Structure 1
């Protein structure tokens, strides 16, 4: 089974990070407002990044890691800029 860690950009510009075993259904649920919580009042949302994992545990670990990152590191991840992610990690930015 495939699991995803994903990042959404909300209408207010904030990022939301989560995980799912059905990415399309989860995004649709966020978009419709049927998931009570952070994204419900910040719609519309858009998928800006996702990565697949072979187990739920790996996806949850990645979710936890990315949630702790600074906005700059999240934006570098969205851009696929691994050099900047590394630079930010070494400059004392939240990991």
Structure 2
């Protein structure tokens, strides 16, 4: 595998490996897998090694990508539309929104 992997490349890789199984499982069951992985990431953030953290971040991204594939969402397009011109709240490239969110 190449040292650089774009979001689009990653989404295609996950699609190629798992799409048929993912479609059979469906969005609801796949979302539950994502939530399990988010829980594992939370644990790793508290007491995991850097290697464990990398693995859990990768798992969360993979399951999120799986849901996007089943829902027929292009993640690159979604990210570009939402964040490509800056913060969705204030529009600045460096957020200057007041408060905790966005």
- Structure with bigger strand share is 1
Greater C-alpha radius of gyration: 2
TM-score, L = length of structure 2: 0.30
User: What is the TM-score of this pair, normalised by structure 1?
Assistant: 0.31
